Structure 1
Amino acid sequence: MTSLMRTTRTRVALGALATTALLTLSACGGGDSDSASADKDASASPSTSESADADAPAGAEPDLEGIPDVVAEVNGEEVTKDEFVPIYESQYAQAAQQAQTTGQAPDEEALKKQTVDNLVDTELLAQEAESRGIEVSDEDVDAELADIAEQNQMGSADELLAAVVEQGVTEEQALEQVETQLMVEQLVEDEDGPLEPTDKELRALYAQVKQQAAQSGGGAAQQIPPFAQARAQLVEQATSQKVGEVAQTLVEGLREDADITINL
């Protein structure tokens, strides 16, 4: 496994922090996008405006005109156009795909605001992690990739990255996303203690999942595996939820004292 050596702080939007959602290629359900709650549910359907054009065609391109070279400054650190554009394009592509079923075109202004806000939040967390001496090594990233590859029944992290690249995500973006995810997890653990949920918490979550399945009908409740079989997945989901909740609380506190300038 060859890691990309990074000499500067990497940054991805908090909306992309659902590492499992991006890198897990097999359907595992449950613990995927819950960690994205740290970004005010950035992965949810974007809002639409009355002035938005109807029906964004498949393959539509976002309007990148007028985006400044520095989209935001956070305590003196610049968030650049080069960082903003690929994340915004990804968000726009998701919204355009949703538009094929909703009939409503993406609200580009709302998406731009959402993207820059998430980048600002990520930078605030990165600065806080740095102030606490929290660092993520290339070895940490390699180990996480190997673990995700194993979960997907792949032979190696290189095989996983190759599959991710086929989905339109660059290897560098994947590595940065994993690095950011690990940074946030370490910061949350430093702030709130070990991430490992208790059996009591897992059983409460399991009961909640079963109740939701029963309410949805259609035999969904019968498809829920026994607790012992679902435990690993429940641990993942509970951990993601905790990371999202603690990270969001941290961001809210950090924003109060931060010097933030948005240039969009």
Structure 2
Amino acid sequence: MNKKLATGLGICTLAFGLVACGGEETTSEEQEPTQEETTPTAEAEGLEHPEQETASILDTEEIPEVVATVNGQDIEKELFVSTLEQQAMQASMQGIDFESEEGALYLEDLRNQVLDQFISTELITTAAHNEGIEATDEEIDHGLTDLMAQSGLESEEQLQELLDSQGISMDEVRDDIATNVINTKYLEQNLANTDVSEEEIQAFYDEAVAGFSEDQSEVPSLEEVRSEIEYQLQMDNHIETLKENSDVQIYI
């Protein structure tokens, strides 16, 4: 995975594909850090806490150069830290005060989630390649078009200029898109075979509702979110199965 692409363009779908929410379960609507939603500026929201220097808040000196290995593939500190900083910055802009006790707990949660996202992605990538899943040129071209739309770019020339400024090649971009396509195909083919019980769905919903501190009248009914919950649980269960059959070493 290309570090500059994941952080320079700020497009996390390339880094994580559909596993942005995979791995460890997150049940509180307030606590779940998202990757794909557009984050408003602190000024626009009138938030109490200004944007913080997240680099000074994050303690990265003790993090080893390799934070984890998945089936022999290293997850490097540089990519882990840059992604964590990006997510912490988004949380800061949403008003999270990392100097508070609650903010410190949030940051620890975020750190664990980012690491788990990388591990989940590598597990799925390995499994997809083991099944011989591939991405066609047409699918990669379509992903490139989506990437330009997400970045507000109108042509490949504009994208190339942006990539040149970041020191990223078009081949690196296409490789990351191909990985995302392959992972998506794998999930579509395999998650349907992962069973989720009604008890699991109800428990997930109940815990999420219990952690919802805003107006309870705005909480969606179980039927409104059933498909999303089922998909999340299928994802979690399938990734746990992959972990059981993989060599995962964590060093932080």
TM-score by length of 1: 0.53
Q: What is the match of residue 82 of structure 1?
A: 78
Q: What is the match of residue 155 of structure 1?
A: 154
Aligned counterparts, 1:86-105, within 5 A: 86-99=82-95, 104=100, 105=103
Aligned counterparts, 1:24-173, within 5 A: 36-39=20-23, 40=25, 46=31, 58-61=52-55, 62-99=58-95, 104=100, 105-106=103-104, 107-136=106-135, 140-147=139-146, 149=148, 155-159=154-158
User: Would the aligned equivalents of 2:51 and 2:89 in 1 still touch at CA under 8 Å?
Assistant: no
Instruction: Return the offset for 1:143.
Output: 2.1
Give the Cα separation in 2 of the matches to 1:241 and 1:180: 25
Give the Cα separation in 2 of the matches to 1:70 and 1:79: 6
Deviating more after overlay: 78-87 vs 145-154? 145-154
Give the Cα separation in 2 of the matches to 1:242 and 1:189: 14
Which of 225, 230, 244 aligns to 1:256? It is: 244
**Quick one: percent identity of the two aligned structures?**
24
User: Would the aligned equivalents of 1:150 and 1:156 in 2 still touch at CA under 8 Å?
Assistant: no
Give the Cα separation in 1 of the matches to 2:231 and 2:126: 17
Offset from partner CA, 1:116-165 (integer Å, 9 cap, x none): 11111111111101101123366633321214546888533454677899
Q: CA distance change for structure 1 residues 241 and 115 in 2, over 3 Å: closer, same or farther?
A: same
Instruction: Return the offset for 1:260.
Output: 1.6
Give the Cα separation in 2 of the matches to 1:42 and 1:180: 28
- Matching residue's letter, 2:90: Q
- Matching residue's letter, 1:260: V
User: Would the aligned equivalents of 1:46 and 1:95 in 2 still touch at CA under 8 Å?
Assistant: no
User: Would the aligned equivalents of 2:98 and 2:107 in 1 still touch at CA under 8 Å?
Assistant: no
Instruction: Return the offset for 1:248.
Output: 3.3
User: Would the aligned equivalents of 2:69 and 2:250 in 1 still touch at CA under 8 Å?
Assistant: yes
TM-score by length of 2: 0.55
Give the Cα separation in 2 of the matches to 1:181 and 1:157: 19
User: Would the aligned equivalents of 1:57 and 1:96 in 2 still touch at CA under 8 Å?
Assistant: yes
Give the Cα separation in 1 of the matches to 2:240 and 2:191: 15
Give the Cα separation in 1 of the matches to 2:238 and 2:107: 28
| Uncovered stretches (5+) of structure 1, i.e. residues with no partner | 1-8, 23-32, 48-54, 194-214, 217-237
Q: What SS does the aligned partner of 1:64 have?
A: coil
Give the Cα separation in 1 of the matches to 2:98 and 2:59: 21
Give the Cα separation in 2 of the matches to 1:176 and 1:67: 28
Q: What SS does the aligned partner of 2:94 have?
A: helix
- Matching residue's letter, 2:22: A
Give the Cα separation in 2 of the matches to 1:43 and 1:139: 39
Q: CA distance change for structure 1 residues 98 and 164 in 2, over 3 Å: closer, same or farther?
A: farther
Offset from partner CA, 1:48-84 (integer Å, 9 cap, x none): xxxxxxx685233222211101101122222111221
Q: How many aligned residue pairs are there?
A: 193
Q: What SS does the aligned partner of 2:75 have?
A: strand
User: Would the aligned equivalents of 2:68 and 2:75 in 1 still touch at CA under 8 Å?
Assistant: yes
User: Would the aligned equivalents of 1:149 and 1:160 in 2 still touch at CA under 8 Å?
Assistant: yes
| Uncovered stretches (5+) of structure 2, i.e. residues with no partner | 33-48, 193-216, 219-225
Q: CA RMSD in A?
A: 4.8
Q: What SS does the aligned partner of 1:250 have?
A: helix
